[in-house]
Structure formats: structure tokens, C-alpha cells
Structure 1
Amino acid sequence: MHLIMIVAAIIVVYWIRCQWTQPQATWNKRWQYALFLFFFPPLLIFMTAIAVICMGPQGQMSGLQTGWLSYVLAFISLAFCAILCIKLAWGGWQSVKSARNCSLVDVAGRQVRVLDTGVPFAGQIGFWQPELVLSQGLLHTLSPEQLETVLAHEQGHYHYRDTFWFFWLGWVRSCTAWLPNTEALWQELLALRELRADAHAASQVDPLLLAESLLLVVSSPPISSEICCAALGSSHVDRLEQRIEALLAQPEPVPEVQLQSWNSYLLAFVPLVTVIFHT
């Protein structure tokens, strides 16, 4: 019976992921749509595995005998996810340590780490309290006015805690690379993350100047991971085009997260209800 639960969950998540199409809608609708398709399937699988572990390898459920196979599969999947999380956390911590080895200087009244490289780079590196890192190349390339737009963009990433939340979303991505449209949804979320930071910056600085700074930064190859680093640059051409178009148009305001938008995720916890039917 537990094996039937696992197979049913996999069929459901495959069907949900196959519904993905690139939407033409507002930022808020695109974000909710992409986040649901990206996060709900692995959450359903995760809850199914936890339910199987809680019920154990012995007993009956709805008159059907349970066995060790489903229990072992659930345990291996959870252990695999835990190992991936530790691996990503270790890599993120190494990035934080490297950032903290950079010299700390005052730039436009803000304390930032300066990376000794000629490649233009600006990014938040870390988790909940990330370090703002700028490169020597960026400081030499941009004017003070352009640099102010970069700092405003990075403040947007800090405001929304993008490094923290995208660490966990990056973990989900690693755990569910075998599901359809994982990479497409990941790229959509990254694009929306940058659009949100751009909109935050555009409310404080000249959007055209920010677009100009963006073009100067992305002309160089990326030098960081996108999981524990939220950077101004983008190596994805479509993402860059979206950002420039959004900045040239009137920036779309980003609404506050509404609690009711998370109601649909409660369906992923349905497998836990089956525990009461196990004897």
C-alpha cells in the first residue's frame, strides 16, 4: 500500500510539472505560478516519504499489507536530500568565508567587501545576513551615479532575503533535477528575482541609469554561483532582455506576500493524513 502511495505521488507531480508554460502575465501572477509548480511537487513527494517513514515497514493500511521496500525507498530519498543539503550548505559557507577574506571598505557610505579582480561584479553572498561584495573592476568601470544604482539593486536582494530563500530553492532544484521542467522553472524564478530587485532599485534611482549599469556588468562572464549569491549580472540572455525591457517600461510594483496565496500548498500535506489509517 505504501508503494502505491509513492507511485501515485510521482504520477501526480509529473502531471503537475508538465503543466508548465511560459506565462504572459504580471510579476505577481508569474511568481505564484512558477513557485507553485516548482515547489509543490517536491513538497508532496517529501511529505509522502515522511508519511511512509512514520507508518513504518510493518502493519496494514486499508486492508493491504505494507512492506520494507517502500520504507527503504522513502528512507533513501530523504537521506539523499539531506546529503545534498549539507553539500550545498558547505559550499555556501566556503563562499561566505572567501567573501569575508576580502578587504572591508566604505563605498558610498556603505561597508562592502572588495574582491580583487578586474571582472565587474556586484553581489550579495551568504545566507540570512549576506555580505555585499563588489569587485575592483566594478569600482573602476562605473561612475559614482551608476554605482549608486548597483547598490540600490543589491539592497533589493537584501530586503527580500534572496540569498537565504534561493539557497533552499536551489536545494529543491538539486533534489528534483529528475522532474520535468525543473531547470525552466528555476530560470523563471531567477528572472523574477532579478526583476523584483530591479523594481526595488528603480523606486530609488533612475531606471535608465540602472539599465546602463546592468549592461556594463553583464558584458563580463559570471564568477559566482546563483544559489548562495544574488548578483547584479546575468549570464542568461532572455533574463537580461526581460530586465532591460522592464526597466525601460514603467517598473511594476511588487505586492506584499498574502497568506492566502499559500493555501494551495496545504494539499501537499494530505499524505500525512494517511498515517491515521495505518494499523
Structure 2
Amino acid sequence: MHLIMILTALTVAWCLRSSQTNFQGSWSVRWRRSLFLFVFPPLLIFMTAIAVLCMGPQGNMGGMYTGWFSYVLTLICLAIFDILCIKLAFGGWQSVKSVRNCPLVNLEGKQVRLLNTEALFAGQIGFWRSELVISQGLLENLSPEHLETVFAHEQGHYHYKDTFWFFWLGWVRCCTAWLPNTDALWQELLILRELRADAYAASRVDPLLLAESLLLVVSTTPVSSEIFCAALGCDRLEQRIEALLAQPEPTPKLNFQFWNGFLLAFLPLVTVIFHN
């Protein structure tokens, strides 16, 4: 019976991820759709594994006996998920440790870490309380006005705690790389994250200056670099520039009705009461 539950969860997860990935519409529509399709299938699989683990390898359910095979399979899967989480956490800890070796400087009243490299880089490094890291190359190539827009954009990432939430989303990505459209949904969430930070910055600085900053960074950053691919790929840059030049779109908060849909992923836990 446990094996039937696992196969059912896998089938539902696969079908949801196989549905057409339509990245059209407003920011809020794209964000809700992508986040649901990205998170719900692995959450359903994870809850099914927890339910099987709670019921144990002995007993019966619905008149059908359970066995060790599905129980051991569940333990192996959860162990792999844990290992992937520890691996990502260790990599993040190494990044934070490396950043803290950089000197702390005061720029326009902001405490930032200065990275000694000619590459143009600005980013939040950390977990819940991230730190802003700016490269020496960025300071040398951007004017104070353009730097202010970069600070505003990074403040947007800090405001929405992107380093924290995308650590867990990155873990979900690693655990379910075998599901369809995982990478496509991940890339969509990344560009939506940048668009959200741009919108936050545009409400505080001149959007045209921010667009100019993006173009300046692109013009001096090698196309093959990881920095370019992460946030400034051609398609992403085009979307970001168009969003900055268009009428600003408010960034709505996700309401409780949206989160109610995720409660369906917890249905496998209900089956525990039918196990004896």
C-alpha cells in the first residue's frame, strides 16, 4: 500500500511538472504559477515520504499489508535530500566565510564588503541577514549616481530575503532535478526575483539610471562569466530593461488564498490515521 502511495505521488508530481510552462502575463501571475509548479510537486513527494516513515514498515492499511521495501526506499530518499541540503549549506557557509575576509568599508553611509577584483560584481551574500558585497571594479566603472541604483537594487534583495528563500528553492531544485521543467521553472524564478528587486529599486531611484547601470555592467562583463549568466543574460536583460521603461507594476504580496493550494500536498499525512 505504501508503494502505491509513493507511485501516486510521483505520478501527480510528474504530471503537474509536465504541464505546459507558459511564462506569460503580469509579474504576479507568473510568480504564483511558477512558484506553485516548482514547489508543490516536491512538497507532495516529501509529505508522502514523511507519511510512510511515520507509519513504519509493519501493519496494514486499507486491508493491504505494508512491507520493508517502501520503507527503506523512503529512508534512502530522505537521506539523499538531507545530504543535498548539508552540501548546499556547507557551500553557503564557505561563501560567507570567504566574504568575511574582505574588508568592511563605508560607502554613502552603507557598510559593504569590498571584493578585490576588477570584475563588476554586486550581490547579497549570506542567509537570513545577508551582507552586501561590492567589487573594486564596480566602484571604478560606475558613477556615484549609478552606484546608488545598484545599492537600491541590492536592498530589494535584502528586503525580500532572497538569499534565505532561494537557498531553500535551490535545495528543492537539487532534489527534483529529475522532474520535467525543473530548470525552466528555476530560470523563471530567477528572472522574477531580479524583476522584483528592480521594481523595489525603481520606487526609490530613477528607473532610467538603473537601466543605464545594467547596460554599463553588461558592456564590461564577459558573456561567458557566471555573473553575466546569473542575472544579465540577453533574455533577462531585455525583460529587465523593458520592465524598467514600462509603467511600474506593483509587487503584490502573496495572499492566504494562494498558500491554501499548498495544503493539498499535506493530504498524504491524513493516511497515517488509517494505518494500523
Q: Which category of TM-score, normalised to the shorter sequence, fits these structures?
A: over 0.9
Secondary structure of 2:178's aligned partner: coil
Q: How does 1:31-50 map to 2 (within 5 A)?
A: 31-50=31-50
For residues 91 and 20 of structure 2, the distance between their equivalents in structure 1, rounded to whole angstroms, comes to 30
Moved more, 3-12 or 237-246: 237-246
Task: Name the residue aligned to 1:257.
Answer: 254
Task: Name the residue aligned to 2:272.
Answer: 275
Q: Which amino acid aligns with 1:191?
A: I
Task: Name the residue aligned to 1:142.
Answer: 142
Residues 114 and 136 of structure 2 are in contact (CA less than 8 Å); yes or no, is this contact kept in structure 1?
yes
Shift of 1:248: 1.2
- Residues 1:208 and 1:118: Cα distance change in structure 2 (over 3 Å): same
Residues 59 and 66 of structure 1 are in contact (CA less than 8 Å); yes or no, is this contact kept in structure 2?
yes
For residues 213 and 82 of structure 1, the distance between their equivalents in structure 2, rounded to whole angstroms, comes to 40
Task: Name the residue aligned to 1:208.
Answer: 208
Secondary structure of 2:50's aligned partner: helix
Secondary structure of 2:179's aligned partner: coil
Shift of 1:23: 2.9
Q: Deviations over 1:212-268 (max 9, x none)?
A: 111222341445699xxxxxx624321111111101112211012212210000000
Q: Deviations over 1:15-57 (max 9, x none)?
A: 0001142232111111000000000000000000000000001
Long gaps (5+) in structure 1: 227-232
Task: Name the residue aligned to 1:184.
Answer: 184
For residues 228 and 52 of structure 2, the distance between their equivalents in structure 1, rounded to whole angstroms, comes to 35
Secondary structure of 1:119's aligned partner: coil
Secondary structure of 1:106's aligned partner: strand
Secondary structure of 1:70's aligned partner: helix
For residues 59 and 277 of structure 1, the distance between their equivalents in structure 2, rounded to whole angstroms, comes to 11
Task: Name the residue aligned to 1:14.
Answer: 14
Q: Which amino acid aligns with 2:244?
A: L
For residues 235 and 247 of structure 1, the distance between their equivalents in structure 2, rounded to whole angstroms, comes to 14
Q: Which amino acid aligns with 1:162?
A: D
Q: Which amino acid aligns with 1:141?
A: N
Q: Which amino acid aligns with 1:75?
A: L
Secondary structure of 1:270's aligned partner: helix
Q: Deviations over 1:75-101 (max 9, x none)?
A: 111110000000000000100011111
Residues 9 and 48 of structure 1 are in contact (CA less than 8 Å); yes or no, is this contact kept in structure 2?
yes
Secondary structure of 1:133's aligned partner: strand
Q: Which amino acid aligns with 1:117?
A: T
Residues 20 and 37 of structure 1 are in contact (CA less than 8 Å); yes or no, is this contact kept in structure 2?
no
Q: Deviations over 1:111-162 (max 9, x none)?
A: 1000000001000001100110000000000000000000000000000000
Q: Which amino acid aligns with 2:91?
A: G
Q: Which amino acid aligns with 1:270?
A: L
Q: Which amino acid aligns with 1:278?
A: H
Cα RMSD for the two superposed structures:
1.4
Any runs of at least 4 consecutive aligned residues in structure 1 with deviations exceeding 6 A, and if so which?
A: none
Long gaps (5+) in structure 2: none
Secondary structure of 1:112's aligned partner: strand
For residues 196 and 16 of structure 1, the distance between their equivalents in structure 2, rounded to whole angstroms, comes to 26
1:248 aligns with 2:241: no
How many residue pairs align between the two structures?
A: 273
Residues 121 and 227 of structure 2 are in contact (CA less than 8 Å); yes or no, is this contact kept in structure 1?
no
Q: Which amino acid aligns with 1:126?
A: G
Q: Deviations over 1:182-209 (max 9, x none)?
A: 0000000000000000000000111111
Secondary structure of 2:231's aligned partner: coil
Residues 218 and 228 of structure 2 are in contact (CA less than 8 Å); yes or no, is this contact kept in structure 1?
no
- Residues 1:214 and 1:225: Cα distance change in structure 2 (over 3 Å): closer
